[in-house]
Amino acid sequence: MSDTMPHEQSSSRRTHCGFIAIVGRPNVGKSTLLNHLLEQKISITSRKPQTTRHRILGIKTVGDDQFVYVDTPGMHKVERKAINRVMNQAATSALDGVDIVLFVVERLVFNEEDEIVLEALRKVGVPVLLLINKCDLLESRERLLPHIERLSRLREFAEIIPLSVLGSHNLDTVEQCVRKYLPEGPFLYPEDQVTDRSSRFMAAEIVREKIMRQLGDELPYEVTVEIEKYTIAEGVVHIHALILVDKESQKQIIIGKRGERLKTIGSAARIDMEKAFDAKVMLNLWVKVKTGWADDERALHSLGYHED
């Protein structure tokens, strides 16, 4: 999974450390689950499917245990553009070399895209925990038991846990079950590290989240964010972010009337950045048309979209 060197620690200390992949179809709550397990925001979220595009590590160290969670893009059937193929590759390759898998599904639903994930898990030889999310939204809990029974026949799951991520119901149970399967070994990261991603990456993701939350269905997926400048001077973080879209009409949607929408996006992003970086942030946003970027392999690679 990683070529990370074990983090130096006392030789007499008996520690456990492992990689835990969080997989599932789009929009079942994988990123929200990661953020709640870490008790801080690492992965961006929105109601729009396929918000997560990259594989992101979230690291949590508790006592002698280090959990290295791997958030992944949702596995989906349609691979219309290069970016969809890259996202599917990132999700499936995340299963290589992990120690535990959390397979997230939603309530009483198990559809074709869930089947795609299940198929990808057939060659996985590590414990797979099935997490049934959003159970608090069920009108009748009585239907859950027969559904769990049906799911249990699909493969041998190490655990099946109904939960509500947003309601913080049964999250402790998830962590306790994951701890049971953590292999013994040295920590791979410093105990205070929470992600493997850079501040530049996090800044770009925060801006993209605000765009997706502001615009909802108004904007298709052809939007990404590139950080052109990230500097720190006298305790202030200066960030210049370029928002790339596919068409001129999309540029106008993001900018909005008299630039009001872009200001709203920038203001919301700056607030989150100041929390994430624990510093004052000066944020400048620009919008540029780059036609076809989402279906251009070279452009995707230069923008940081690749398997690893």
Model confidence pLDDT, tens digit, residues 116-152: 889 889 888 999 999 999 888 777 777 889 999 999 9
User: Which range, of 124-133, 158-167, 289-298, averages the lowest pLDDT?
Assistant: 289-298
Residue 113 in this model has a pLDDT that exceeds 50: yes
Residue 149 backbone phi and psi in degrees, to 5: -65, -40
> How many Å from the N-terminal Cα to the C-terminal Cα in the chain?
10
Considering only CA atoms, which of 196, 193, 195, 207 is closest in space to residue 281?
207
Pairing of strands 16-23, 100-106: parallel
Report d(CA 225, CA 44) in Å as an integer: 13
Pairing of strands 236-245, 223-233: antiparallel
Residue 303 in this model has a pLDDT that exceeds 70: no
- Torsion, CA 269, CA 206, CA 278, CA 191, rounded to 10: 170
The pLDDT value recorded for residue 2 is 47
Residue 214 in this model has a pLDDT that exceeds 90: no
- Top-confidence residue, 293 or 1: 293
Report d(CA 49, CA 44) in Å as an integer: 12
Instruction: Report if pTM > 0.85.
Output: no
Percent above pLDDT 90 for the chain: 46
Q: What's the whole-number average pLDDT of the chain? A: 83
**For 84-92, what is the mean pLDDT?**
58
Residue 198 in this model has a pLDDT that exceeds 80: yes
Please report the DSSP string for 116-156 in residue order: HHHHHGGG--S-EEEEEE-GGG-S-GGGHHHHHHHHHTTS-
The answer to whether 36 and 114 are in contact (CB under 8 A) is: no
Neighbouring C-alpha atoms within 13 Å toward the C-beta of 132: 23
The answer to whether 168 and 36 are in contact (CB under 8 A) is: yes
The pLDDT value recorded for residue 292 is 72
The pLDDT value recorded for residue 307 is 46
Pairing of strands 128-133, 223-233: unpaired
The pLDDT value recorded for residue 168 is 81
Residue 81 in this model has a pLDDT that exceeds 70: no
CATH number of the domain at 16-181, please?
3.40.50.300
- Residue 308: pLDDT band (50, 70, 90) is very low
User: Which range, of 25-29, 68-72, 257-261, 296-300, averages the lowest pLDDT?
Assistant: 296-300
Highest-scoring range by mean pLDDT, 71-75, 152-156, 168-172: 152-156
Residue 56 in this model has a pLDDT that exceeds 70: yes
- Residue 302: pLDDT band (50, 70, 90) is low
The answer to whether 28 and 133 are in contact (CB under 8 A) is: yes
The pLDDT value recorded for residue 91 is 56
Report d(CA 93, CA 308) in Å as an integer: 8
Structure tokens at 6: 């074990």
Class at the top of the CATH hierarchy for domain 199-302: alpha beta
> Domain residue spans in the chain?
16-181, 199-302
The answer to whether 71 and 43 are in contact (CB under 8 A) is: yes
**For 168-190, what is the mean pLDDT?**
94
- Top-confidence residue, 164 or 292: 164
The pLDDT value recorded for residue 52 is 52
